[in-house]
Amino acid sequence: MSKRLLYVDRFDVAHDERAIFNRLFEREVLPELRKVPGVLRVVRYQTETRRDPRFLTVYEISGAKVVGSRAWTATTEKTPLSDRLRPSIMNHHEGVYTRVGGNARLTYRTKYLLFVSIDVETPKEGLLNQLYDSEHIPLLLRLPGVANVVRYRAAQGNPRYLTIYEIEHPEIPASKEWGVASVTGRWKLEVKPYTFNRSFVVYEGIAAT
């Protein structure tokens, strides 16, 4: 059986084109991509922060070759994505990820995602994986409103590691309780100083197919 992977597509859209982009993307592009063999689920999110791409599309796929397959390419070429929408896309980041820790899979039961991506210096990679699962995630899962956590490693793209927290309120990551839990244990001194390319952003769900 094929392994379930995550294809993450993040981008900005030119301000004057956002309304038409969202309308065409949701009504014409995503329904067709959902029909591509190997595409299991598609969910869209957005954020108001200006330091990260505004739009996030999460695709659950059955294998790394789904994106870029003949069926995927044919679908994008026949929808407005190819000629009408693509010129308005900016700051584009994408990657294919495989699960490496946390819970078994995303549930999509909360409106908000905390999207944390990170790289780590090679000598500390093993310790990062160990402490993330043994200390970091259990502490954060105890907090009210933190519903689920899944960790991924990049099969294609970067940063290398991605952790997705399903949260009930967007203020949770800025709370005092989160701040205390996130620096408890060995993580703060033994792993965090060796990390880089960190991205920490809350996304709000806007559409699913």
Check residue 82 and give its pLDDT. Answer: 87
Mean pLDDT for the stretch of residues 158-182: 95
pLDDT at 8 over 90: yes
pLDDT at 160 over 80: yes
Closest CA to 38 of 66, 75, 3, 7: 66
| Contact indicator for 145, 187 with CB cutoff of 8 Å | no
| Contact indicator for 206, 50 with CB cutoff of 8 Å | no
Q: Which helix (H) or strand (E) holds 60?
A: strand 55-61
Reported confidence tier of residue 156, pLDDT bands at 50, 70, 90: confident
Check residue 157 and give its pLDDT. Answer: 79
Helix (H, G, I), strand (E, B) or coil at 62: coil
Q: Which amino acid is at 64?
A: A
Check residue 209 and give its pLDDT. Answer: 46
pTM value is 0.93
Check residue 208 and give its pLDDT. Answer: 52
pLDDT tens for each residue of 109-151:
999 999 999 999 999 999 999 999 999 999 999 999 999 999 9
Residues β-bridged to residue 153: 98, 161
Domain residue spans of the chain: 5-97, 99-204
- Which CATH number, 3.40.50.2020, 3.40.50.300, 3.30.70.100, 3.30.830.10, labels domain 5-97? 3.30.70.100
Check residue 74 and give its pLDDT. Answer: 95
- The CATH code of domain 99-204 reads 3.30.70.100
Mean pLDDT for the stretch of residues 22-50: 94
Closest CA to 53 of 41, 63, 45: 45
- What percentage of the chain has pLDDT greater than the value 70? 98
The span from the CA of 73 to the CA of 70, in Å, is 5
Mean pLDDT for the stretch of residues 150-169: 94
Reported confidence tier of residue 158, pLDDT bands at 50, 70, 90: confident
The per-residue pLDDT of the chain, averaged, comes to 93
Check residue 83 and give its pLDDT. Answer: 87
Check residue 5 and give its pLDDT. Answer: 96
Check residue 29 and give its pLDDT. Answer: 95
Cα dihedral 36, 41, 45, 51 in deg (nearest 10): -70
